[in-house]
Amino acid sequence: MKAGFKPGEMQIESNEREDALLKRSAKGDERAFTELYRRHQPPLFRFAVRMTGSSWAAEEIVQDVFMMLVREPKKYDARRGTLGAFLYGVARNRIMKHLERTPRDVSLDEKGEAGQEAHPQLHEQMTPARWAELRERRGQVRAAVLELPPEFRETVVLCELEEMSYDEAAHALDCPVGTIRSRLHRGRALLLAKLEMLREVPKRANVGRG
């Protein structure tokens, strides 16, 4: 028997159904839980980072989501949608609570969402000036997204950044597809306006010096 492999545990198939994995996890199968964590932690973490602007807050939120899954697996009802949509919904509730008790001014670091520089191979191929410009633009987009009202921010994050379909986002946020469409339309317009304002600030500053 392999170390750390409990009696009754089975090998995990990459395409194993998630409801089956959840049932095994609820019975103490650590490998089943690890597989669920592997599948869902990265997108949930990205969602939480983009909604809060904080890696440490995102880590706490995602940890809280999975602790809930361990303690209360029966809260998930497969008849109401996918496990992924359910976990997004739980994460969303935790995020909203975090935003309610956190000041609007949040610090944004220039690192990737995992705490490391994104695309290091790209960094090696670019000039310092071009890389600085790219980092500045990325920072502007992240700052603009964080300035959106939460209901528009979460829709933009899921549909634009996480590339969810309208149906998937509707399940994750527990609202009609029509609401997703209207919020995304409004969120895009607000985001473009904020980015345009950010671009105009350096221009006005340069004119003032002239």
Question: Residue 136 belongs to a domain with what CATH number?
Answer: 1.10.10.10
Higher pLDDT, 194 or 159: 159
Give the residue numbers spanning the domain of 175.
121-210
pLDDT over 70 at 68, yes or no:
yes
> Which of 29-43, 70-84, 126-140 comes out lowest in average pLDDT?
126-140
Same domain flag for 203 and 148:
yes
Same domain flag for 48 and 131:
no
Whether residue 73 contacts residue 26, with contact meaning beta carbons closer than 8 Å, is answered with: yes
Q: How many domains does the chain have?
A: 2
Predicted TM-score of the model (pTM):
0.65
Same domain flag for 95 and 157:
no
3-state class of 20 per DSSP? helix
Q: How far from the centroid of its chain's Cα atoms is residue 26's Cα?
A: 25
Over the stretch 116-171, which tens digit does the pLDDT of each residue have?
Answer: 444 444 344 546 565 566 666 677 778 888 888 999 999 999 998 888 999 999 98
Beta-carbon count within 10 A of 204 CB: 8
